[in-house]
Amino acid sequence: MAMADAAPTPLTDGLGRRISYVRISVTDRCDLRCRYCMAERMQFLPRSQLLTLEEIALLADMFIARGVRKIRLTGGEPLVRRDVGDLVRRIGRHLQGGGLEELTLTTNGTRLVEHADMLFDAGVRRINVSLDSLDPQRFAHVTRGGDLQRVLAGLDAAKTAGLAVKINMVALNGINADEILPMLRWCDAHDFDLTLIETMPLGETGEDRTRHYLPLTQVVDMIGREYGLRPVTDRTGGPARYHAVEGLRIRLGLITPLTRNFCADCNRIRMTCEGKIYLCLGHEDHVDLRDALRNDGLEAVAALVDRALLRKPARHDFHIDAQGVSSAAHRHMSVTGG
């Protein structure tokens, strides 16, 4: 009797870190132009360069077979991609058999009215929604023309569908710092968690990041003057560190690429919509899976991923100094996925 094939080996990098979380960008396009993320006039990839949804699904199957337990779909804005529901449902089937523990999504919320029910039906139970201001004019300024009411309607649709919502707010000095405490209270009132994020130096956006950089150490001090904060051990697979807020139900997350490096226990890789695996958000080093998949098949892709993981760096290179906020990466955040 022939012996059964050995189970695929788990994904492990050169430092011994297990890779259990993959963020997959399904498109580099977005219907907003947030100032910290994109330039006002973006040059998007030709559609011919994008992975098909079937190719993305095949690569997701491979990652899950190699021990990935969580997949997050990102963009750009993932819900602007035509027929994205087919992909969500295809990956979501792994939740039923236990091969995947969680399928999540990061969105700007503008398409949730149309897609919230589909996401829940496909097995998504939790989403992140980027929202940096509750003031309509300020929101339009930050997003270069976005409609706040459309996002708020999307959040209502997500709650109605049964999706848990976490709000992601990039802390921007001189733009929305005065809204952080009101946002904290608003999220608590709506039963949303809140994660605050330091601006990340990725790509040329036409904005002065140094001027708008707000260390979250200062934000924690500001919140602490009004509410007690207590660190908790909750983790959702990403880089956020969570705190309980005294007197509120909310869980507050902090993502601090500049003031507190979070790389020691990194369990993540990112795949772009054209099939590039970036080994670290803060580095340009990557491998291109698209040609290997199309020309040589999944076995060749798996070997390529293994070789690439040996080069995964110990940490990112985001930093701030007298010259400002800088990084070793020059691509926009929307290229890699949020």
Known binding-site residues for [4Fe-4S] cluster equal 30, 34, 37, 263, 266, 280
C-alpha R_g of the chain: 20
Which residue positions form the known binding site for GTP? 23, 72, 106, 166, 268-270
Residue ranges at the known binding site for S-adenosyl-L-methionine: 36, 76, 130, 200
Handedness of CA 75, 76, 79, 80 (dihedral sign): negative
Cα separation, 270 vs 72, in Å, equals 9
CA 179 to chain centre: 22
* Three-point CA angle 155, 161, 165, nearest 5°: 45
- Distance from C-alpha of 66 to C-alpha of 5, rounded to nearest angstrom: 14
Q: Which residues are part of a known binding site? A: 23, 30, 34, 36-37, 72, 76, 106, 130, 166, 200, 263, 266, 268-270, 280
Residues 334 and 268: beta-carbon distance below 8 Å: no
How far is CA 169 from each of CA 130, 183, 315, rounded to the nearest angstrom? 6, 9, 23
Residues in Cβ contact with 22 at an 8 Å cutoff, skipping those fewer than 6 apart: 60, 63, 68, 70, 71, 72, 268, 269, 270, 271
DSSP letter, residue 172: B
